[in-house]
Amino acid sequence: MSKKQDFVLTAETQAQISAEAKKYKEAPWQLMRILLRIQKICENSFPRDVAVVVSQETGIDVATLYSYTSFYAMISDVPRGKYIVRMCESAPCHITGARDVMDAIEYTLKIKAGETTPDGLFTLEYCQCLGMCEKSPAIMINDQVYSDLTPGKASGLIEEYIRGDIA
């Protein structure tokens, strides 16, 4: 498993992050959505440099921010791929073939769950219920949900992402 490089702040991304974080004071209940948008700017991670910027804009200290983000599965402080592939492992998916679908994805991406491809494109994770139980098994790639999968359909889908047919 290769280690993906940390996201590096530039003047441009820092300005984007600041602008996003500034919205907190107007609507503190939107903290999660603000951080999720910031995470998208930062290649799907929430590293320390970014937390410092967010802290300055929101007035929330870095320790409290991490106490918050580390609780939620959708925010990561370690670098992740451009595409996060999440395989639902909850029971309805499990009994309709999730394991076989995961095997096919692992084979296609040549990585195991929890790993990132050496080119930094894909991170593969297990996740809990995606709420697609009546169309299981299901996966989510970034914000896109795919359901009624078979091993063949899943590897075909991943290949489309690899070829860049789906951006």
Q: Is 105 in the site for other proteins (CB under 8 A)?
A: no
Cis peptide before 137 (omega within 30 of 0): yes
CB of 146 to other proteins, least distance (A): 12
Cβ at position 47, least distance to other proteins in Å: 17
* 107 sits near other proteins (criterion: CB under 8 A): no
Beta-bridge partner residues of 126? 87
Q: How far is the CB of 136 from other proteins (least distance, A)?
A: 6
Any contact of residue 163 with other proteins (CB under 8 A)?
Answer: no
Among 30, 115, 111, 126, CA closest to 80:
115
Task: Based on the shown chain and the rule CB under 8 A, indicate whether residue 132 belongs to the binding site for other proteins.
Answer: yes
- Number of H helices and E strands in the chain, helices first, is 8, 4
Closest to other proteins by CB, 19 vs 32, is 32
CB of 145 to other proteins, least distance (A): 7
Is residue 151 close enough to count as binding other proteins by CB under 8 A? no
Identify residue 71 by its one-letter amino acid code.
F
- In the window 62-91, what residues touch other proteins (CB under 8 A)? 67-69, 71-75, 89-91
Per-residue DSSP letter, 90:
S
Interhelix angle 11-21/48-58, rounded to 10 degrees, is 40
Secondary structure (DSSP) of 103-156: HHHHHHHT--TT-B-TTS-EEEEEES--S-GGG-S-EEETTEEE-S--HHHHHH
* Interacting span for other proteins (CB under 8 A) from 3-11, 92-100, 109-117, 157-165: 92-100
Q: Which of residues 18-47 bind other proteins (CB under 8 A)?
A: 27-33, 36
The residues binding other proteins (CB under 8 A) are 27-33, 36, 60, 67-69, 71-75, 89-92, 94-96, 127-136, 140, 143-145
